[in-house]
Amino acid sequence: MKIVVLDGYTLNPGDISWERIERLGETTIYDRTAYDLRGADLIIDRARDADVILTNKTPLSREILENLPKLKYIGVLATGYNIIDIEAAKERGIVVTNIPNYGTTAVAQMTIALLLELCNRVGVHSDSVFKGEWSNNIDWCYWKFPLVELDGKTMGIIGYGRIGQATARVAEALGMKIMAYSPSKRKQAGNNVEFADLDTIFREADVVSLHCPLTESNRGMINKESIGKMKDGVMIINTARGPLIVEEDLAEALNSGKVAGAALDVVSVEPIEEDNPLLKAKNCIITPHIAWAAKETRARLMNIAADNLEKFIEGNPINVVNR
């Protein structure tokens, strides 16, 4: 069996092992496969003889799949699988799997890290000390941003799946009240969690945190209208999907002070484009889609990817997204 990894560097820049994958077949690992230069041709060249492709963000279109006659299996090294033409794969009998539930703890941790950075600006204040500002300050201490205590404040969690629930548990430990929106209210709310509709969350939350998948119905849900319903001084956190937010509207709200701060690990186009309005907005923290990237989390992802492939080889595939 020939296995081709099209873009292995993101998952494994060298600090975890491909050993379990390599034991399953003749494995070729490419750090990156540029699809914006030669496009489909390079992908086809590299995967022409592959029985198995593993890909994180390298897309596999209908055109590409039609030129890979030996391909039997695609393992997406992530949860989202919109990079694959699922219908084309199904028509050709190609099994496509993804990696669910590997990053719950890490993403919840990153959400709280972003929130705490908005509230305490640890990085900014540490940098100022090393630049000599404390040594040369006439007062005993100083702060460069308003500092915010979270105890007693309300976090509105939009999307109450595993990550939303994990985030709620940490926020509760900080003394926050939790309001959650979920299309399905069958999930168990905690002692300090109440379900609410979106308008209620927008109206009452001090912090709005996004944890929902991107759908056509919620694309751009954080926009001029929904922000207008929010409290003055609200904070917005996004570790879900960039297109949930209309970035021009958020930038305007940040610059006007309506939104006190935003912290985002995702944006609408990634890598972020140089003209993204959020890059010049006030009180905006942006990280490069790293909530999932702790070593422990990536090792867990690798193990699930190996489990998926092993089960496929055994004839009992799991985590299939195109049945």
Q: What is the residue-level pLDDT of the chain in tens, covering all 323 positions?
A: 999 999 999 999 999 999 999 999 999 999 999 876 557 899 999 999 999 999 999 999 999 999 999 999 999 999 999 999 999 999 999 999 999 999 999 999 999 999 999 999 999 999 999 999 999 999 999 999 999 999 999 999 999 999 999 999 999 999 999 999 998 765 555 667 999 999 999 999 999 999 999 999 999 999 999 999 999 999 999 999 999 999 999 999 999 999 999 999 999 999 999 999 999 999 999 999 999 999 999 999 999 999 999 999 999 999 999 99
DSSP 8-state class, residue 259: E
For the chain, the structural domain boundaries read 2-101+295-314, 104-286
The one catalytic residue in 26, 87, 149, 270 is 270
Same fold, 2-101+295-314 and 104-286: yes
Catalytic pick among 211, 241, 298, 300: 241
Query: How distant, in Å, are the alpha carbons of 12, 55, 226 from that of 179?
Result: 37, 37, 16
Please indicate whether residue 26 is annotated as part of the active site. no
CATH number of 104-286: 3.40.50.720
For strands 2-5 and 154-158, give the pairing.
unpaired
The CATH architecture one would assign to domain 2-101+295-314 is 3-Layer(aba) Sandwich (3.40)
Is 270 among the residues known to form the active site? yes
Strand-pair partners of 5: 29, 54
Give the containing element (helix H, strand E) for 291.
none
CA angle, 136 then 142 then 148, to 5°: 155
**96 neighbors 81 (Cβ within 8 angstroms):** yes
> In 194-224, which positions are buried (b, 16+ CB within 10 angstroms) versus exposed (e)?
eebeeeebbeebbbbbbbbebeeebeebbbe
> Does the active-site annotation cover 298?
no
